[in-house]
Amino acid sequence: MSETHEHYIDGEWVPGEGAETFESYNPANGEALGTFHRATEADVERAVAAAEAAFDEWRDLSYIDRAEYLWEVYYELRERHEELGTVVTKECGKEISEGKADVAEAWHMVEWAAGDARHPQGDVVPSEVAAKDAYMRRSPRGVTGCITPWNFPVAIPFWHMAVTLVHGNTVVWKPAEQTPLCGQIIAEMMVDAGIPDGVFNMVQGFGDAGAAIVDDERVDSVLFTGSAEVGHEIQLKVAEEPGKQVACEMGGKNNVIVTENADMEMAVHSAVMSSFKTTGQRCVSSERLVVHTDVYDEFKERFVEVAENVAVGDPLEEGTFMGPLIEAQHVEKVTSYNELARTEGVNVLVDRTELDDDEIPEGHEDGHWVGPFVYEADPDADLRCIQEEVFGPHVALLEYEGDVDRAIEIHNDTNYGLAGAIISEDYRQIHRFRDHAEIGLKYANLPCIGAEVQLPFGGVKKSGNGYPSAREVVEAVTERTAFTLNNSKEIEMAQGLSADIKTRED
């Protein structure tokens, strides 16, 4: 029997208290990739206790000493690029260039965090009183619970953990249940780097283990990336616990605007990338294309042509553009939204919900296949299909008339606010979008996907609070504290406050 992978708690590989195990499967062909112990509440409790116990010693190291461990991970990520990129593709179904990009993004974040250890980490602040030196200093918040999704199974864990660790926090991480093998390899890298016992802990499991992390009162900060449904539940729970903080990055119902001044080549290329890359399973994927009436027919014809022909298939093959969906349940969800769109009376233009048999690569009959679904709808109609996040290749064309403000009005008419793009050759339209689009990630003449770690990443409205990336994650995992030193023998207060002590004799 092949080995059952374990949790990594307090410097040891352990099977945990529970009897249950679970499997990881390749979504392209159903192949089993590994068996994993499923964490219980007791396992989470042990991991949190270990992280709490390790905190004092870890926070006392210098930034640079802490970063040394991360540099080891950086080199291993680079050395194992090809191998780990292939594991990403096998476990989550993204085509191979995306699998490898996931690993590259991970080392970019590790590089940022470890390099940042040699940068200033606070501010020297003027005081009203000349004899006082005042500073803003950062302190680590403590135990950080990191809960990550399957779609960037290597990159997102490092978005959460790299900066967090360099800043002196300890970590309890739960990888997504769909991508535990990536989790296992990352944990092995942390072990190879010699990270001290208890500083990094990983529990493999499902939502109940994630919830146990959130609920544990010894957890000081929670970083979550995943669905809006779960994220909102976590935000509510954390709000009830004074002192605990959460940074959530959740979903979107993202738009690409194509104005009457768009370069059509750029428009079609950007829209296809935004809607179909990762088979629509990025939180930044676009399910709404808002297109000006003057260019609507041309755009529609060209977009539909690509959607009908875009290559769906084995993600390990370089000729593939779209791999499978992550799991059978997700095929059901996407299919039901495609059906809902029909029920809601939209005009369907492309329906590849069920692929033809000859489109499915040999030996991949058990994969979770779905192709593009494209329709046109009235942007003002009250339709669930143009408002709710599907997280698949489900795309609405929304035609508009008038100026760019009308496009922006349609763009902003969703509860979400994550990513979006405008395609236009007119800088005034672009600036209007930049200033008025209610989203966290804005692009012009580009797809609305393709984050880089050194930029903020996150949404507004229902899409999130806090920004689990590079510089911004620092805010979530540190406290900004003030320190003031008096260099004088006298006490002098700010705001003209008297420092005289008066007694009854005075």
CB of 219 to ligand ADP, least distance (A): 11
Smallest Cα–Cα separation from 324: which of 273, 361, 377? 361
Residue type, 153: P
Using CA atoms, how far apart are residues 177 and 329, in angstroms rounded to an integer?
14
214 binds ligand ADP (CB under 6 A): yes
Are 448 and 419 in contact by the 8 Å Cβ rule? The answer is: yes
- DSSP string for 158-215: HHHHHHHHHTT-EEEEE--TT-HHHHHHHHHHHHHTTPPTTTEEE----HHHHHHHHH
Are 372 and 395 in contact by the 8 Å Cβ rule? The answer is: yes
Pick the stretch among 5-13, 23-31, 171-179, 254-262 that binds ligand ADP (CB under 6 A).
Answer: 171-179
CB of 206 to ligand ADP, least distance (A): 5
Non-local (6+) Cβ contacts of 45 within 8 A are 212, 216
Are 34 and 180 in contact by the 8 Å Cβ rule? The answer is: yes
**Which CB atom, from 71 or from 206, has the smaller least distance to ligand ADP?**
206
| Contacting residue, 84, 143, 147, 262, with ligand ADP by CB under 6 A | 147
210 binds ligand ADP (CB under 6 A): yes
Smallest Cα–Cα separation from 113: which of 156, 161, 65? 161
Which of the 8 DSSP states describes residue 423? E
Using CA atoms, how far apart are residues 249 and 254, in angstroms rounded to an integer?
14
CB of 371 to ligand ADP, least distance (A): 21
Q: Residue with the closest Cβ to ligand ADP?
A: 210
| Contacting residue, 77, 211, 341, 453, with ligand ADP by CB under 6 A | 211
39 binds ligand ADP (CB under 6 A): no
CB of 281 to ligand ADP, least distance (A): 8
Which of the 8 DSSP states describes residue 39? P
227 binds ligand ADP (CB under 6 A): yes
Pick the stretch among 133-141, 208-216, 317-325, 332-340 that binds ligand ADP (CB under 6 A).
Answer: 208-216
> E-strand spans in 221-272?
221-225, 245-249, 254-258
CB of 129 to ligand ADP, least distance (A): 48
Q: How many residues bind ligand ADP (CB under 6 A)?
A: 17
**Which CB atom, from 226 or from 417, has the smaller least distance to ligand ADP?**
226
Pick the stretch among 143-151, 298-306, 346-354, 491-499 that binds ligand ADP (CB under 6 A).
Answer: 143-151
Pick the stretch among 189-197, 225-233, 264-272, 444-452 that binds ligand ADP (CB under 6 A).
Answer: 225-233
What would the two tokens of residue 180 be? 């535990």
174 binds ligand ADP (CB under 6 A): yes
Binding-residue pattern over the window 176 to 205 for ligand ADP, x denoting contact by CB under 6 A: xx----------------------------
| Contacting residue, 206, 333, 378, 475, with ligand ADP by CB under 6 A | 206
Q: Is 305 a catalytic site residue? A: no
Backbone angles phi, psi at 424, to 5 degrees: -165, 150
> E-strand spans in 26-110?
32-37
230 binds ligand ADP (CB under 6 A): yes
**Which CB atom, from 174 or from 432, has the smaller least distance to ligand ADP?**
174
Using CA atoms, how far apart are residues 426 and 420, in angstroms rounded to an integer?
17
Using CA atoms, how far apart are residues 265 and 372, in angstroms rounded to an integer?
20
325 binds ligand ADP (CB under 6 A): no
Catalytic pick among 146, 182, 248, 283: 283
Catalytic pick among 6, 52, 105, 249: 249
Pick the stretch among 23-31, 169-177, 355-363, 493-501 that binds ligand ADP (CB under 6 A).
Answer: 169-177
Using CA atoms, how far apart are residues 328 and 354, in angstroms rounded to an integer?
13
Backbone angles phi, psi at 7, to 5 degrees: -85, 160
DSSP H or E run through 398: strand 394-400
| Contacting residue, 149, 252, 315, 464, with ligand ADP by CB under 6 A | 149
233 binds ligand ADP (CB under 6 A): yes
Backbone angles phi, psi at 482, to 5 degrees: -100, 140
CB of 15 to ligand ADP, least distance (A): 19
| Contacting residue, 18, 115, 196, 207, with ligand ADP by CB under 6 A | 207
Backbone angles phi, psi at 441, to 5 degrees: -125, 110
Pick the stretch among 227-235, 298-306, 343-351, 487-495 that binds ligand ADP (CB under 6 A).
Answer: 227-235
Residue type, 504: R
Q: Is 249 a catalytic site residue? A: yes
Binding residues (CB under 6 A) for ligand ADP: these are 147-150, 174, 176-177, 206-207, 210-211, 214, 226-227, 230, 233-234
List residues with catalytic annotation. Answer: 249, 283
